[in-house]
Amino acid sequence: MRRLLITGFDPFGGETVNPAWQAVKLLPDTVGGFELCKLGIPTVFGKAAEAVLAKAEEFQPDVILCIGLAGGRDAVTPERIAVNIRDARISDNEGNQPQGEFVAPDGPAAYFATVPVEKMAQAIRDAHIPGAVSNTAGTFVCNDTLYLLLHHYAGTSTKVGFIHVPRIPEQGSPSLELSRTAAALAAAIEVC
């Protein structure tokens, strides 16, 4: 069976929950042809990717999929691209607020995700859940994590992707029920 490492961030920006990690926890231990390993990671620049890499060293995944919250979005959105910029509007969970800095000074301007984002978005819609490819993961910790992982695994067979999810109804609108977010993640994983 192929192995997929899936991560979710902890709450940030004054929120008490992060539906990304909550939805990850709802997933079964196998999805499609994958054995899953689930990992909660901190919303901290650099440290989030370090936590993923440490677990990946042990689990040796074929695919790494990170899940984050994007407040304001009304669909489950596989990210197409990560950019080499840290530009934070709010502080991360350790008080860092980089503005206009590089993620990796030696890296290219951007990387494309190496998972099939169009197929994933279609699979989500086929499950009757709003899904769309996103062309920006922002310039906060989610983009940072995707960029650092794509940088690390560039030229290898390990695939790396990221999915942003909406708020849950308790957090305000737009929102999506947690069970539907989890179902969308499962649908996307099946086509990775």
- Alpha carbon distances (Å) from 130 to 114, 122, 192: 22, 9, 18
Q: Choose between 19 and 131: whose C-beta lies nearer to ligand PCA.
A: 19
For residue 97, the minimal CB distance to ligand PCA (Å) is 13
By DSSP bridging, strand 110-112 and strand 159-165 are: unpaired
For residue 33, the minimal CB distance to ligand PCA (Å) is 27
For residue 109, the minimal CB distance to ligand PCA (Å) is 19
- Active-site entry in 37, 142, 151, 192: 142
Q: Choose between 35 and 91: whose C-beta lies nearer to ligand PCA.
A: 91
- Active-site entry in 37, 66, 79, 192: 79
DSSP secondary structure letters along 60-111: --SEEEEEEE-TT--SBEEB-EEES-EE-SS--TTS---EEE-S-TTS-SEE
Among this protein's residues, is 142 annotated catalytic?
yes
Q: At 174, phi and psi to the nearest 5? A: -70, 155
- Which position's Cβ is nearest ligand PCA? 142
For residue 17, the minimal CB distance to ligand PCA (Å) is 11
Q: Choose between 3 and 38: whose C-beta lies nearer to ligand PCA.
A: 38
Residue found under tokens 């709802």: 26
Nearest one of 29, 38, 39 to 1, comparing CA atoms: 29
Among this protein's residues, is 79 annotated catalytic?
yes
Examine residue 61 and say whether the peptide bond preceding it is cis (omega within 30 degrees of 0): no
Q: Choose between 20 and 123: whose C-beta lies nearer to ligand PCA.
A: 20
Q: At 85, phi and psi to the nearest 5? A: -145, 135
SS3 percent helix, strand, coil of the chain, rounded to 5, is 30, 25, 40
The residues that touch ligand PCA, with contacts defined as CB under 6 A, are 9, 12, 18, 20, 43, 68-70, 138, 140-142
Catalytic residues: 79, 142, 164
